[in-house]
Amino acid sequence: MSVENGERQLESGVLTDFHEVMDYATYLRLDDVLGAQRPLSSPEHHDELLFIVQHQTTELWLKLIIHELLSARDLMDADRLPVALKRLARVKHIQSTMTEQWSVLATLTPSEYAGFRKILGPSSGFQSYQYRAVEFLLGNKNERMLEVFAPRPAVHEMLTRLLDEPTVYDSFLRLLARRGYAVPETVLQRDVRRAWVENPDLVPVVRRIYENGDTDWDLYEACEDLVDIEDAFQNWRFRHMSTVQRIIGFKTGTGGSSGVPFLRKALELTFFPELYTVRTMIGV
């Protein structure tokens, strides 16, 4: 790069004619992506764009999380744990980005949000089918949630499929069994349509992994990666709750929930309880 008369000179090899070849915007379909932000307030409220971009960006990250978790699950089923762990590591970084995004939405003041909140109608983040897909993949399954998506047949079918399929945790536990760990048969044959609940008989199995980290390091690492993902998910939930409280206080949610109290209850949910229970036992 050189500078002449205050102007940056392009290198001779840089393409500038895209009449017959694909350019950046075409590859990324930026006309579609950047045309999807359509505020409904009239006159258009300045801060509605922030609200839309925040949530659309989150949905894009959720799409990538689903992509990575599905791959991680399949790789575990194929006994390719090291590659699966790479997928989980990427999920952790995505979660960190999603959590930090709340700081942008938190710049929205109560009076600014009130300026366009009514145009949202009953729409709510509770209705995010991708968020529900992530929860299903991690073990928080709830068949009743499918009712919300009945008007969207393709979405309803996708979530039903995930409801019927093993979770990432199921695949990990089945991998443990194939590696010789005494995973209870009740775990291996469980109804995967049900939400995961702690199984005390599984805790000694997890304890063995932590006590044999030198010989089964990949399994040890997998347990910690799953804990990292749960911690990150809880951090995201907390930032969601605190951001909502900062903006609307204790008003009810647009979708009919109690708002902050509803979000606070979500903090009690856990995906991998045995990985936390075992911590009390280690070193005793």
Residues at the binding site for heme are 240
Nearest by Cα to 141 from 194, 200, 68: 194
Nearest by Cα to 58 from 98, 104, 108, 102: 98
Residue found by looking up tokens 């709750």 in the block: 241
Residues tagged in the binding site annotation for substrate: 51-55, 113, 117, 254
**3-state DSSP call for residue 8?**
strand
Q: How many residues does the chain have?
A: 284
Characterize 25-51 residue by residue with b for buried, 16 or more Cβ atoms within 10 angstroms of its Cβ, and e for exposed: eeeeeeeeeeeeeebebeeebebbebb
DSSP annotation of 20 reads S
Residues tagged in the binding site annotation: 51-55, 113, 117, 240, 254
DSSP for 171-211, written as a single string = HHHHHHHHTT----HHHHT--TTSPP---GGGHHHHHHHHH
**3-state DSSP call for residue 4?**
strand
d(CA 221, CA 177): 17
Residue found by looking up tokens 């699950």 in the block: 73
